[in-house]
Amino acid sequence: MTFAPKCLPTMVGSLPHHDPRVACERVLQYLSAIPAWPQLPRRSFRENMYAQFGERFPGLVVDVEREKVWVDRERANEELEALYLAYLEDRVDEWGIGSEYAAGLHAFLALKEAVGAAVAVKGQITGPISMGLQVTDAALRPVLYDEILADALAKHLRLKAAWMERQLRRLHPQVILFVDEPYLSAFGSAFISLSREQVIALLTEVFAGISGLKGIHCCGNTDWSVVLETRPDILNLDAYNYAQSIALYPEAVHAFLHRGGIIAWGIVPQEEAAIRSATVEDLLGRLYAAWALLEAKGISREELLGGCLITPSCGLGAVSPQAAERALELTAAVSNRLREQYGIE
């Protein structure tokens, strides 16, 4: 199924609402063309992005009271076989996500008639780099630095992604699934001991579970050439704060757009004060300034428009519900203004 982005709006993932039904209503109100299921981290710690997709990971402990996620290594050793058997036999249905971990997803899946006019539906999953760095064993060693657990985590997330895509396809034949990797912003720094090859291998494993459009989201500065080497269909960046970073990789960006890649420009801020003071005109000015940096490197405005989506810069779970809804409104308004200005139907 061919997908034309047409500068349409969607969102990154999280909202601050507690009621999943209300959260879904707000998504459909502003982002009806490409609605995304809302993650609700304030509803429960189980919806924290590192706990949310940990269900059934070998040895994982989600301590709701202390708000900690960690791996019991002894239990993990006992449970690894079940994961690898499910992976080898493609038993995706056994690796689903329960409603206690993703109430917004299950509320969204009940909205088949409401998303009928959409051109796609979007989901998201935490990536193996970020989850592998934030989830530790009892000795506080990140699981990413344990070769066996890192491999298991990528396979676990691949099964989760495949399950989610199957569920979302019940709503719409065109599914977009993002892998969220905030900690890729630390790649190449002294804080992460991880090679380029490891990053690519882990992300490629998760992407292999996605048969439709696969995206990657990073809300900071990173080496975009590494990210693009994993062959995503959509690249989502924080263009409000870090638009200049992508202009450092014009050859990789040009090749990405040339093969039909899409850039989801996170041009709407995620901070409370910035959301409240933002205007459509200011945000469009920032977007055009970002495009000018790439145009100066030989990438045409036509290429950028042809592969463009509009999003907030990151998830909105940390702001007030009013600010989050304003951010969604701004996202839709920037998209509408772009489409009007360039005659995109």
pLDDT tens profile 4-27? 999 999 999 999 999 999 999 999
In a 3-state reduction of DSSP, which class is residue 13? coil
pLDDT tens profile 212-265? 999 999 988 888 888 898 899 999 999 999 999 999 999 999 999 999 999 999
Mean pLDDT of 202-214: 96
**Helix, strand, coil % (nearest 5) of the chain?**
45, 15, 40
pLDDT confidence tier of residue 149, bands split at 50, 70 and 90: very high
pLDDT confidence tier of residue 198, bands split at 50, 70 and 90: very high
pLDDT at 222: 84
pLDDT tens profile 262-299? 999 999 999 999 999 999 999 999 999 999 999 999 99
pLDDT at 26: 97
Whole-number Å distance between alpha carbons of 127 and 216: 9
Euclidean distance between the first and the last CA atom of the chain, given in angstroms as a whole number: 19
What CATH code would you report for 8-341? 3.20.20.210
Whole-number Å distance between alpha carbons of 14 and 41: 7
Residue 13 and residue 180 in contact, taking contact as beta carbons nearer than 8 Å: yes
Angular region, 343: left φ>0, alpha ψ -120 to 50, beta rest: left
Upper half-sphere CA count for residue 279 (Cβ side, 13 Å): 3
Spatial CA neighbour of 95 closest among 45, 165, 46? 165
pLDDT tens profile 170-189? 999 999 999 999 988 877 66
pLDDT confidence tier of residue 302, bands split at 50, 70 and 90: very high
Domain ranges of the chain: 8-341
Tokens of 208: 């292999």
- The whole-model pTM stands at 0.96
pLDDT at 189: 64
Mean pLDDT of 160-173: 97
Only one residue has tokens 């934030």, namely: 134
Question: What residues are paired with 176 via a beta bridge?
Answer: 122, 213
Gyration radius of the chain's alpha carbons: 19
